[in-house]
Structure 1
């Protein structure tokens, strides 16, 4: 009896007869041999069907198979160093489960990006897209393991909120039973509340930004992990961030070598990602840009060219710290030595991938947070619950937010963030 397994586990069965269930990704023939490219969701494998080694009906079935037909395949696993998986299958029997219709939209030729995004439900079946999303899954798991191993509690903040958490207007407004409500930009404020109950928490879920941006680094719906930690200061916050990034990258290197190979990723650039990371103040970064002939003034926000240039001066991610207070959200703690800047930092990824983390120490003083809310003309009544966190047992605390999709794009080495999420939501795309 053939042993049922998956392509991902095939190395365990060298020389043995196995059963696979999957789909025909592609095939080619040379008269007396069919070469079947089989995928089963866990990987891709070549099956070789030799005419004089199988029943006549089996060889005929293989000839009639169409792209993406679902099949059961029995064969002998053989080591093959030429294959990316390291193995191929000497096929003995093929049983069609369903024969796919002719004219599969994503034929094995060049297609435009808009066409591929219109067929995202099918595009993710291809090797590179499949590898990206499998690496996303590994990063997702690594994040959860990192925090679980360190005693953090997962909390789920609401997606529907009564106000902006960051005081911006880039919100998706909804009618909530006759009242105005918004899709959440961040779970941070709610995570802060949970941190005062549990000490160390993180939220991990979808967030929404109504930015009318078309850049390769922006989505209107994306996932963020947002830890919040009681009794952790600015320095402690940076330390946990760099430890997390090292942990994530090393987990991908450990468990997703095949997928990185499919993507032709230069893993030497990932192997060097070890804590600690360099730090540069916003003020020093401005001077660096000016010396490089960028037109940039203190108080300006960094764009992609600025972040890329700064990142190129380092071989690992780099923290940019102590941003101008006026640039950042109302809840960030001012530097006690210089109230013009905050105890906040962005972590910039190498290779032009830009900011992947933003974080800060939070204001824990009631009077100061009240002043900030008033200065930004925020409706205080909607933040009363948040102010209660300062009224009842306030402590110094810190947190940050990591964008999952930007992190996936960097680790995979792919150009556009829209490929890092199963179904992207961008300025002009809400289908499929």
Structure 2
């Protein structure tokens, strides 16, 4: 990181917030509940770029992570107090600096190094952690139609400073970059229901993906260090446990990011209505014009519950019900009327598992004697044995004759309330 020289002029941000960064004080806006800041300057400063927003009061801006700022002055955003996320803790000393840690995080040979593993495990998920997954236009359409969170993802806290399509490109898991609008990147953001729903792609746990041949994978390689491939960032990544689908929590959002760093909330998930409610106004509808099978002016998009492989199940007074999670503290019976939304007394995630040709998988759905399977621990041998295809980074799926599937059954993963 290049240190910024002192700004010759400090103006007031619209919020009155100021941040000390690189030895200078800049007007700033808080992002992602304080995980990052947008800094502004009246004059060109190293690392700042032209602010392309029409009518911007200050012509230069940049985005920085909270760990890069020395102090925050003035009023904070008027948001409810939350438990801050555990930051990534890096033991720097004279012998091992930031560039050395970055090199270790990007080297698969160090996947079993205790230093790398120790650093990686400091970035942990708790109940209610905001998670985020960058999406293509095709993937956005899939989530609107009923997909659930799965595969590689990140804590919002770790990537909040990546705000433009160019910066967010390194988080994408798809192969659609050449077909999408380069001026917009989409994302799904949701709150974690429980830490056990996520795994760290670290060491032997994901060695099969680390050794996957290039012609059998999509997206960036999996390093096995628990960090995403990047030329300058150290970003911890996660995968959903066994690459399984996770239940969609209430108030999950589908987002868009524009070249000026604006975050636009496109849709929010309404579980009782079983669909997505459009939040973006007419000025943002152009962001949806290239999303397949989606009229940009559609106010509500119903979600296809028949395609959901994972259910959130709650128990209330000895009876079992479909449940809704609104982490960190609300877990209730799924009901249209408010009076029937009782807090559940027990909660679990119900996942269908199966084996085909000896390979463990989760079962996604069935159709005309065939079952869609997703591999839990993909490696080159199992992918070849099943003829599975890679549909996004780390995710391998295949259609199997239902009659040939063995050890199929539902597994309830209990959550402690």
TM-score normalised per structure 2: 0.25
**Greater share of helix:** 1
TM-score, length of structure 1 as denominator length: 0.24
- Rg: which structure is higher? 1
